[in-house]
Structure 1
Amino acid sequence: MDFQPTEDQEALRTGVRELLAGRFPREALRAAVDAGDALETGSGGASVVGGPPVVDRVLWRELGEAGFFALRLPEADGGVGLGLPEAVLVFEEAGRVLLPGPLVGTHLAATHLTGPVAAGAAAGELLVALALPPAPVGHLGAADAVLALGELGAGEPGSQVGSGELGGTGVGLFAADGYPAAEIRSVDPLTPLHLPGSVLPPARALDGGAGVEAASAGADPVLAGADPVLLRREAALLTAALQVGSAGRTLAMAVQHARQREQFGRPIGAFQAVKHLCADMLVRLEMARTAVYAAAVSGDGFETAAARLLADDAASRNARDCLQVFGGMGFTWEADVHLHIKRSWVLAAGRGDTERHEEELAGELLQ
């Protein structure tokens, strides 16, 4: 099986990279971070948790027009007609630039739901947050809707999120402004977090001008056929792709700095200790990237679990090693290294199912 991207896939990757370079360059990233930092500090130096959304709605719609969210919809339905391997490449580029927003939830809603919610998500008109209780929900304040995926026990026909019933398929769609969650402090200035409550709200109309409705799975055709196992698997894989993109970016940052920074009359990249750090970063990146690409092609749950764990590890450890290469400069607010570290932590914790993937891998290996 060949996991190397085709020419068309490479062209897609290049196109997305150019789009993001033009619409979300480093200057836009830093502006969003600085705005979030000002909100955290507050007037008079008072500490403030949260703030207004950091998601650029204009950029979100441009992503929708470019097919970011409708990538896997059939062309007959207004989509691009591509598959999960192409989606992984696109999400890798988004992770590379630390693009903020509920990317995974919106993409899954556009791909697997039907009706106005799916259409709005595909066009970039709606933001759909992804909830995997009890893990924190990212970008709830900016979202129009929440796609909630419950736990399915062996032999259980239904699913629960706290004491809220999700119905027979373990999938629920809810209005974001009515979803019970308490705002909590996030280490990532571009990913506001909310901790889900114990009781889910009743289904009701969504705000945002779309006139769409939220409902429990099994009670509304919008969610007909939505498979929570598949949705969780794809959510893990797409988030792993974001992590791979971040790991690749921190490697590039470390190598560039090692070539430019001089000590004792020579670039620090000439020293063996720095070479080993960069080499280890490359190994972790390629292992994680290969695992993610393989899982995207096979769709296998075991391979997805392995890809998720490798990608989380690569993003976090590459960011830490990048910090070592940068030295004291890397600890400053002006450097981007800390943003990659924080994003890797938030993404790793946001799905709340690390133990599940570890147990799945262990069970497969022991068979």
Structure 2
Amino acid sequence: MRFRLTDDQRALQEGVRLLLTRRFGAQALRAAVGAGEAADGAGGDDPGASRAAARPDRDAAGAGAGPGRLDRGLWRLLGDAGFFSLRLPEADGGVGLGLPEAALMFEEAGRALLPGPLVATHLAAGTVPGAATGETVVTAVDGGLVEWLAEADVVRGDATGAVPLRSVDPLTPLHRAPDGHAAAPDPVAILLTAAEQLGTAARVGDLAAQHARAREQFGRPVGAFQAVAHLCAGILVRVETARAAVYAAAVTADPADIAAARLLADEAAVRGARDCLQVHGGMGFTWESEVHLHLKRAWVRTQRAGGVTESEELLAAALSPGAA
């Protein structure tokens, strides 16, 4: 079985990276973080009030993201680029590609810290009108949490009575649904989340290496010191291990492979971001840096699809003696 990327897959990945760099680069990320901070102080405890405050004029032509809002122009651009319709058959207006290509796209989304309920909207393409084109924002009750509830046009699952939470990630508004409202985890959703985690892990690895080469102490780059070099090497090892697992799971679509990919990608993202913060020192915690944002987003993603415990149990069952 071949896991090496084809030329077309590499071109797809590079194209998505270029699109996101142009449309959601460092300046747009900082602007979105500022909007998220403003929304965090204005939401209150009433989910109805939060929803009402978040949605005025959201569909205005050319409007960007504001407090607690998605950039609808960017969402539609993603739809035009085939982000949500990638796996739909061409006969149904989709791109006609598969899960491996979707994993590559979501890896780039994770790398860029692209906000929004990307996985839920992607999975809704073909079943929810407007989801494939980015005209409709879809979210889902996932592991008892609902991301971007106030901005969603469609909620998959029962979010009745959901209450707002103070999210550690300023770019991921969260609500908690009542117990028993969460649906069974979708293996594809788990895999695409793992791909996002892989993107975060790869990005923080790049940031750590760049800082280690550029920052000097005692007349030498800090990367020349053994402790820093070991941190960077550990990040790289975890990234490449997770990449092999995510790409393989995207090809096999086997639930056990997906569970393993999820565990490895979560570890690569969270530990990688923490180690990247160590490389940067106190600078990594400042709002001028994106490093802490990657760690916060990685923490939020670990809570999707029942958390890591469900994947651990599934993998343990698959590896136990007598398992089919």
Using the size of structure 1 for normalisation, the TM-score is 0.78
**1:38: how far off?**
2.6
Aligned counterparts, 1:267-282, within 5 A? 267-282=221-236
* Per-residue deviation, residues 216-270 of structure 1 (Å, max 9, x unmatched): xxxxxxxxxxxx87x7100000000000000000000000000100001011111
The equivalent of 2:161 in structure 1 is 180
Match of 2:135 among 118, 125, 131: 125
- Verify: 1:236 aligned to 2:217, yes or no: no
Match of 1:89 in 2: 104
**Corresponding residue for 2:5?**
5
Displacement after TM superposition at 1:34 (Å): 1.1
Shift of 1:41: 4.0
Measured against aligned partners, the alpha-carbon deviations of 1:11-33 in whole angstroms (never above 9, x if no partner) come to 00011011101110111010010
Cα distance between partner residues in 2 of 1:331 and 1:73: 41
Question: Which consecutive unaligned segments of at least 5 residues does structure 2 have?
Answer: 55-67
What is the distance in 1 between the residues matched to 2:69 and 2:194? Answer: 22
The answer as to 2:256 corresponding to 1:302 is yes
The 3-state SS of whatever aligns with 1:333 is coil
| 1:329 matches 2:283 | yes
Q: CA contact under 8 A between 1:54 and 1:190: conserved in structure 2?
A: no
CA distance in 1, matches of 2:39, 2:75: 22
1:99 to 83, 106, 114: 114
Tell me: CA distance 1:39–1:146, structure 2 relative to 1, closer, same or farther (3 Å). closer
8 Å contact kept, 1:128–1:144? yes
1:366 aligned residue: 320
1:145 and 2:154 aligned: yes
Corresponding residue for residue 166 of structure 1: none
SS at match of 2:164: strand
- Alpha-carbon distance in 2 for matches of 1:40, 1:295: 36
Contact 1:104 1:130 in 2 (8 A): no
Residue 293 of structure 1 corresponds to 247
Aligned counterpart, 2:61: none
User: Contact 2:117/2:137 (CA < 8 Å) preserved in 1?
Assistant: yes
Deviates more, 1:49-58 or 1:67-76: 49-58
How far apart are 1:365 and its partner, in Å? 1.8
Give CA deviations for 1:277-316 in whole Å, capped at 9, x if unaligned: 0110000001111101000000100000000011111100
What secondary structure, in the 3-state scheme, does the structure 2 residue paired with 1:69 have?
coil
Matches within 5 A, 1:253-268: 253-268=207-222
Q: Is the 8 A contact 1:146 1:179 kept in 2?
A: no
The residue aligned with 2:88 is 73
Structure 2 distance, partners of 1:75, 1:179, is: 36
Give the aligned residue type for 1:192: P
Conservation of the 8 A alpha-carbon contact between 1:295 and 1:303: yes
Identity among equivalent positions (%) equals: 59
Partner Cα distance (1:54, 1:283) in 2: 37
**Given residue 72 of structure 2, which amino acid in structure 1 is its aligned partner?**
R
Residue 197 in 1 paired to residue 178 in 2?
yes
CA distance in 1 between partners of 2:180 and 2:255 (Å):
30
* C-alpha contact 2:40 2:166 (8 A) present in aligned 1: no
In 2, Cα distance between equivalents of 1:79 and 1:247: 30
TM-score normalised over the length of structure 2: 0.89
Determine the C-alpha separation between the residues in 2 that align with 1:54 and 1:323. 28
1:183-220: CA deviation from partner (whole Å, max 9, x where unpaired) = 111000000000113587xxxxxxxxxxxxxxxxxxxx
Match of 1:352 in 2: 306
Q: Compute the displacement of 1:353 (Å).
A: 3.8
**Cα distance, 1:132 vs structure 2:** 2.4
Q: Distance in 1 between matches of 2:289 and 2:135?
A: 33
Which residue is 1:58 aligned to?
A: 73
Superposition deviation, residue 5 in structure 1: 0.9
Distance 1:54 1:287 in 2: 35
Distance across 2 between alignment mates of 1:298 and 1:40? 41
| Structure 2 residue identity aligned to 1:237 | L
**Structure 1, unaligned stretches of length 5 or more?**
149-173, 201-227
Aligned to 1:252: 206
Preserved contact between residue 39 and residue 48 of structure 1 (Cα < 8 Å) = no
- Give the aligned residue type for 1:349: Q
* CA distance in 1 between partners of 2:156 and 2:121 (Å): 9
Distance (whole Å) between structure 1 residues aligned to residue 171 and residue 98 of structure 2: 28
Within 5 A, what are the aligned runs for 1:310-321? 310-321=264-275
| Distance (whole Å) between structure 2 residues aligned to residue 183 and residue 351 of structure 1 | 19
Structure 1 residue 48 displacement after superposition: 5.1
User: Which of 292, 301, 321 is residue 338 of structure 1 equivalent to?
Assistant: 292
